[in-house]
Amino acid sequence: MIPLSWYLIFAALLFAIGLFGVITRKNSVAILMSVELMLNAVNINFLAFWHYHTQNSGLPQVNAMVFVAIVFIAAAAEAAVGLALIISVYRQRKTVVVPELDTLKG
């Protein structure tokens, strides 16, 4: 039986990698991928905690499972919209690298 803290440390590392990626990556597709990593870290957290709580209390809980499902759905919707926006940016500018998108500044 793997203790809860291992899952939490794993999720925290995954989250940190994702956050690092969002901050340092220049390509919008890579930024979106990093965001997905962060969301996966959240899901691992939820499921680990859910398992811990149900083992501890013996009561069947569903809220974390529902939460994870909703995070999945929202992440999929976000990725769909994100890719659509990336395509429309690419059609206009022929690039998806964020520092090159600099018409708006000041």
Partner 1 sequence: MATNLLVILPEILLLILAGLILLLDVLYKDRSDSFFSWFTAIGLVLIGLISVFFNYPGDQRQLVWGGMLRVDTAGFVFRLLFVTGAAVTSLFAAKVKAIGNRAVFFALLVISTIGMSFMSSAADLIMLYLAIETTSIPMYILAGFSVKENNSVESGLKYLLFGAMASAVMLYGFSLLYGFSGTTQLYGIVEILQSGAVSLSLQLLILFLVIAGFGFKVSAVPFHFWAPDVYHGSPTPISGYLSTASKAAGFIVLMRFLFSAFSYQQTYWGLLIAIIATVTMFTGNLLALAQKNLKRLFAYSSIAHAGYILIGVAAGNHLGIKASMYYLIAYLFTNLAAFGVISIVERKKGSSEIEAFRGLVKSSPGLAIILLVSLLSLGGIPPFGGFISKVLVFASAAEANLIWLLLVGVLNSIIALYYYLQIIRITFEDTEEIDLIPVSKTWKFALGVCVTGIIVLGVIFTPWLNLVTTASTNLMLLH
Say which amino acid occupies 30. A
Chosen residue from 2, 26, 60, 91 binding partner 1 by CB under 8 A: 91
Q: Is 29 in the site for partner 1 (CB under 8 A)?
A: no
C-alpha distances out from residue 47 to 7, 21, 28, 79, 103, Å: 9, 24, 29, 22, 43
- DSSP letter at 106 equals -
Nearest to 22 by CA among 37, 40, 41, 12: 37
Residue 67 to residue 27: CA distance in whole angstroms: 30
Q: Is 22 in the site for partner 1 (CB under 8 A)?
A: yes
Q: Is 60 in the site for partner 1 (CB under 8 A)?
A: no
Q: Is 88 in the site for partner 1 (CB under 8 A)?
A: yes
Residues forming the site for partner 1 (CB under 8 A): 8, 11, 15, 18-19, 22, 28, 31-32, 35, 38-39, 41-42, 45-46, 48-49, 52-53, 57, 63-64, 66-67, 70-71, 74, 77-78, 81-82, 84-86, 88-89, 91-93, 98, 101, 103-106
